[in-house]
Amino acid sequence: MQTFWEDVDRHLVRYGGTFTREIIDSASGSFLFTEDGRRILDFTSGQMSAILGHSHPRIVATVQRQIANLDHLFSGMLSRPVVDLARRLAGTLPASLQKVQLLTTGAESNEAALRMAKLVTGKHEVVAFARSWHGMTAGAAAATYSAGRKGYGPVSGNFAIPVPSGDWLAQLDLAFDLIDAQSVGSLAACIVEPILSSGGILEPPLGYFTALQAKCHERGMLLIFDEAQTGLCRTGTWYAFERDGVVPDILTLSKTLGAGLPLAAVVTSAEIEAEAHARGYLFFTTHVSDPLVAAVGNTVLDVLVEDRLDERAVKLGAHLRTGLDDIAARHDLVTDVRGRGLLVGVEIGDESLHTPITRKCLELGLHMNIVQTPGMGGVFRIAPALTTTEEELELGLSILDEAIGSTSA
The model carries a pTM of 0.97
Which pLDDT tens digit goes with each residue over 109-168? 999 999 999 999 999 999 999 999 999 999 999 999 998 899 999 888 999 999 999 999
Classify 119 in phi/psi space as left (phi over 0), alpha (psi -120 to 50) or beta. alpha
Catalytically annotated residue among 101, 123, 133, 340 = 133
What confidence score (pLDDT) does residue 408 get?
83
* Of 64 and 1, the one with more pLDDT: 64
What confidence score (pLDDT) does residue 36 get?
95
Distance CA 335, CA 329 (A): 9
The whole-number average pLDDT for the span 179-183 is 98
What confidence score (pLDDT) does residue 375 get?
58
Distance CA 384, CA 2 (A): 31
Question: How large is the angle between the packed helices 309-330 and 390-408, nearest 10 degrees?
Answer: 20
Share of the chain above pLDDT 70, in %: 99
What confidence score (pLDDT) does residue 374 get?
60
Which pLDDT tens digit goes with each residue over 269-314? 999 999 999 999 999 999 999 999 999 999 999 999 999 999 999 9
The whole-number average pLDDT for the span 90-105 is 98
Band of residue 363 on the pLDDT scale cut at 50, 70, 90: very high
What confidence score (pLDDT) does residue 377 get?
65
The whole-number average pLDDT for the span 353-377 is 86
The whole-number average pLDDT for the span 53-69 is 98
Q: Which residues contact 27 (CB under 8 A, 6 or more apart)?
A: 33, 42, 54, 55
Q: Is the pLDDT of residue 2 over 90?
A: no
What confidence score (pLDDT) does residue 285 get?
97
Distance CA 194, CA 251 (A): 11
Residues 100, 101, 102, 107, CA torsion sign: negative
Band of residue 35 on the pLDDT scale cut at 50, 70, 90: very high
Which pLDDT tens digit goes with each residue over 196-237? 999 999 999 999 999 999 999 999 999 999 999 999 999 999
What confidence score (pLDDT) does residue 1 get?
73
Catalytically annotated residue among 255, 321, 340, 360 = 255
User: What are the φ and ψ backbone dihedral angles of 106, each rounded to 5 degrees?
Assistant: -65, -40
Instruction: Indicate if 290 belongs to the active site.
Output: no
Instruction: Indicate if 381 belongs to the active site.
Output: yes
Question: How large is the angle between the packed helices 270-278 and 106-121, nearest 10 degrees?
Answer: 70
What confidence score (pLDDT) does residue 16 get?
87
Band of residue 372 on the pLDDT scale cut at 50, 70, 90: low
> Diameter of the chain by CA atoms?
64
The Cβ of residue 338 has, within 10 Å, a number of other Cβ atoms equal to: 17
**CATH architecture, domain 60-306:** 3-Layer(aba) Sandwich (3.40)
Band of residue 370 on the pLDDT scale cut at 50, 70, 90: confident
Instruction: Indicate if 5 belongs to the active site.
Output: no
Catalytically annotated residue among 234, 312, 321, 381 = 381
Domain regions of the chain by residue span = 2-55+308-408, 60-306
Catalytically annotated residue among 108, 219, 229, 392 = 229
What confidence score (pLDDT) does residue 17 get?
82
Q: Which residues contact 154 (CB under 8 A, 6 or more apart)?
A: none
What confidence score (pLDDT) does residue 29 get?
98
CATH of domain 2-55+308-408: 3.90.1150.10
Catalytically annotated residue among 108, 111, 226, 227 = 226
Which pLDDT tens digit goes with each residue over 87-96? 999 999 999 9
What confidence score (pLDDT) does residue 310 get?
98
Q: Which residues contact 402 (CB under 8 A, 6 or more apart)?
A: 360, 364
What confidence score (pLDDT) does residue 154 get?
87
Instruction: Indicate if 133 belongs to the active site.
Output: yes
